[in-house]
């Protein structure tokens, strides 16, 4: 039997939501055949069978959030349904072959566990007879109890009983949730509850999936990082003119040219000059990690929430290449097809809320990065130019930075440099490698 556990499909990931179970109990599967769809830190991943065999048990339900290392399925390796059919009569004819500890144990009515573990199981309200022991000779260990408890609570919370003192019949009832094929169970957390308070109706929704991830990530970021936000405004006329010039060339190559590639280019140039903004802090060792690579995250709005795909090695890519990649990543994000590879490893993030609106913001840094820039709405404004009021295309940008590492002066110099590069795009080209 092969226990198929939730692998760590990405850096730092510790749990994932089972979006879809693609197989059924008793189904024969081939190696590499997709078994489950799991939504982890902002990506959907398809997990495939490590071996050819038969699905013996499905231990999770769709909608369930499970930790890395949790057993999801049990696969009887090396067999398939056809082979098993031919094997069955043999088992009946020759019962000696099938004698193993399991039926004997059933007769003895006891799983293998020490008295302490039994006591612990009772405390955790678990029926120890249902737990597969991973200890020596199949003994149930403390860890087995924990794993089982996690699975049980996540798969069938409604069926998990409160055991009244003296009523172990209820404890037996807790087994129902495990015996039932989890695939048909209602999606955990999908239920909403409307309660009436003195203030009015309140709808309760589970905080789960990507939203839960974002919430956790944001809390972590603001808890660790002392945020400071600096706001500046840019004149965009020259950049707009340049973009208009380049657009027909881009169109010919079927490239959707936005302002973002220009920003990325400017950003990379500035980051090279201000290396602390492309750094991170190792909180364990209190070291500053200056990164000599430039992986730029682009915060992207999707129906599921904010996702940050990363453009790797942005300093080695042309404006057109960047434009192409941005388009491609945005599409993958909207279709929820990003992989862990797409969203990890960023060194700096751009949040582009310009198309929506807003003057300024305090963007929250994508920990462990140390700064984030937010681009706002581009609009015509009255500005004073050489003592005269003129109309210009203007845009605000907000830079949040980690004040542990970056001083206000550095941050403003950094935005000044970006401003300089974007207000006169010729400079941008002059600096380009």
Partner 1 sequence: MVVGEVAVETDVVVIGGGPGGYAAAIRLGQLGKSVVLIEKEVLGGVCLNRGCIPSKALIHTAGEYHKLSSLNKLGIQLPTEKATFHMPSWQTWKSSVVAQLNKGVDYLCQANGVTVVKGTATFLSSDRIGVETGGDFETYKFKQAIIATGSRPFIPSFLKTDGEYILDSTDMLALDEVPETLAIIGGGYIGMELGMAFAKLGSQVTVIEAAERILPQTAAHLSQEVLKQAKQLGMTIKIATKVEKTEVANGRVTLICTSEKNGSQSITAHKTLVTIGRVPNTGELGLAQAGVEMDERGNIPVTATGCTNKSHIYAIGDVTPGPALAHRATKQGIVAAEVIAGLPSSVDSPYVPYVIFTEPQIAGVGMTREEAELQGYKVKTATFPYRANGRALAMDEGEGFAEVIVDQESHLLLGMHVVGADASNLIGEGVLALELAARVEDVALTIHPHPTLSEVWLEAAEAVLGHAIHIVNKSKVAVSK
From the CB of 150, what's the least distance to partner 1, in Å?
19
Instruction: Specify the residue, 172 or 237, whose C-beta has the smaller distance to partner 1.
Output: 172
Determine the Cα–Cα distance for residues 56 and 61; give it in Å rounded to an integer. 15
Q: Is 222 in the site for partner 1 (CB under 8 A)?
A: no
Instruction: Specify the residue, 162 or 197, whose C-beta has the smaller distance to partner 1.
Output: 162
Under a CB-based contact definition with an 8 Å cutoff, are residues 314 and 264 in contact? yes
From the CB of 116, what's the least distance to partner 1, in Å?
9
From the CB of 133, what's the least distance to partner 1, in Å?
9
Q: What are phi and psi of 325, to 5 degrees?
A: -70, -40
Candidates 59-67, 135-143, 217-225, 403-411 — which segment interacts with partner 1 by CB under 8 A?
135-143
Q: Which residues contact 330 (CB under 8 A, 6 or more apart)?
A: 298, 300, 309
Q: Is 166 in the site for partner 1 (CB under 8 A)?
A: yes
| Segments in 180-236 forming alpha helices (H) | 209-224
**Other CB atoms within 10 Å distance of the CB of residue 97:** 11
Under a CB-based contact definition with an 8 Å cutoff, are residues 50 and 77 in contact? no
Q: Is 272 in the site for partner 1 (CB under 8 A)?
A: no
Q: Is 137 in the site for partner 1 (CB under 8 A)?
A: yes
Q: How remote is the C-alpha of 270 from its chain's centroid?
A: 29
Q: Is 143 in the site for partner 1 (CB under 8 A)?
A: no
Under a CB-based contact definition with an 8 Å cutoff, are residues 36 and 22 in contact? yes
Residue 181 has, within 13 A of its CA and on its CB side, a CA count of 9
Task: State which of residues 165, 248, 357, 389 lies at the interface with partner 1 (CB under 8 A).
Answer: 165
Q: Is 357 in the site for partner 1 (CB under 8 A)?
A: no
From the CB of 175, what's the least distance to partner 1, in Å?
15
Determine the Cα–Cα distance for residues 41 and 344; give it in Å rounded to an integer. 9
Tell which positions 75-114 bind partner 1, by CB under 8 A.
99-101, 103-104, 107-110, 112-114
Q: Which sequence positions are flagged as catalytic?
A: 403
Which stretches of the chain bind partner 1, using CB under 8 A?
A: 99-101, 103-104, 107-110, 112-115, 118-119, 122-123, 125, 136-139, 163, 165-169
């Amino acid at each position: 039997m092969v226990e198929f556990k939730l692998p760590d499909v990405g850096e730092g990931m510790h749990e994932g939501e089972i979006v879809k179970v693609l197989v059924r109990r008793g189904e024969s599967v081939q190696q590499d055949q997709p078994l489950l769809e799991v939504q982890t830190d902002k990506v959907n991943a398809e997990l495939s069978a490590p071996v050819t065999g038969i699905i013996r048990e499905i231990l999770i339900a769709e909608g369930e959030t499970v930790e890395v290392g949790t057993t999801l399925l049990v696969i009887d390796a090396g067999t398939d349904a056809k082979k098993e059919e031919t094997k069955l009569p043999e088992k009946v004819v020759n019962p000696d072959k099938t004698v193993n500890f399991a039926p004997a144990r059933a007769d003895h009515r006891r799983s293998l566990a020490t008295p302490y573990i039994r006591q612990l199981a009772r405390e955790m309200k678990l029926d120890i007879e249902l737990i597969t022991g991973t200890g020596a000779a199949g003994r149930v260990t403390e860890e087995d109890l924990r794993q089982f408890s996690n699975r049980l609570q996540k798969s069938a919370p409604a069926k998990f009983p409160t055991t009244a003192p003296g009523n172990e019949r209820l404890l037996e009832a807790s087994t129902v949730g495990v015996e039932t094929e989890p695939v048909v169970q209602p999606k955990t957390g999908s239920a909403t509850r409307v309660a009436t308070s003195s203030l009015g109706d309140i709808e309760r929704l589970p905080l789960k999936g990507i939203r839960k991830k974002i919430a956790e990530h944001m809390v972590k970021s603001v808890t660790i990082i002392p945020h400071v936000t600096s706001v500046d405004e840019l004149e965009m006329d020259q950049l707009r003119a340049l973009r208009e010039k380049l657009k027909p060339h881009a169109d010919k190559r079927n490239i959707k040219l936005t302002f973002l590639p220009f920003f990325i280019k400017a950003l990379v140039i500035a980051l090279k000059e201000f290396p602390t903004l492309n750094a991170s802090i190792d909180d364990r060792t209190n070291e500053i990690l200056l990164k000599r690579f430039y992986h730029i995250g682009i915060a992207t709005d999707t129906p599921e929430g904010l996702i940050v795909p990363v453009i790797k090695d942005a300093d080695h890519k042309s404006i057109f290449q960047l434009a192409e990649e941005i388009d491609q990543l945005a599409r993958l994000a909207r279709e929820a097809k990003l992989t862990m590879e797409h969203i990890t490893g960023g060194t700096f993030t751009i949040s582009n809320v310009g198309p929506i609106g807003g003057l300024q913001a305090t963007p929250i840094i994508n920990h462990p990065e140390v700064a984030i820039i937010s681009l706002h709405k581009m609009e015509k404004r009255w500005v004073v130019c050489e003592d005269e009021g003129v109309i210009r295309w203007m845009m605000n940008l907000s830079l949040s930075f980690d004040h542990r590492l970056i001083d206000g002066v550095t941050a403003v110099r950094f935005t000044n440099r970006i401003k300089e590069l974007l207000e006169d795009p010729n400079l941008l080209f002059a600096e380009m490698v």
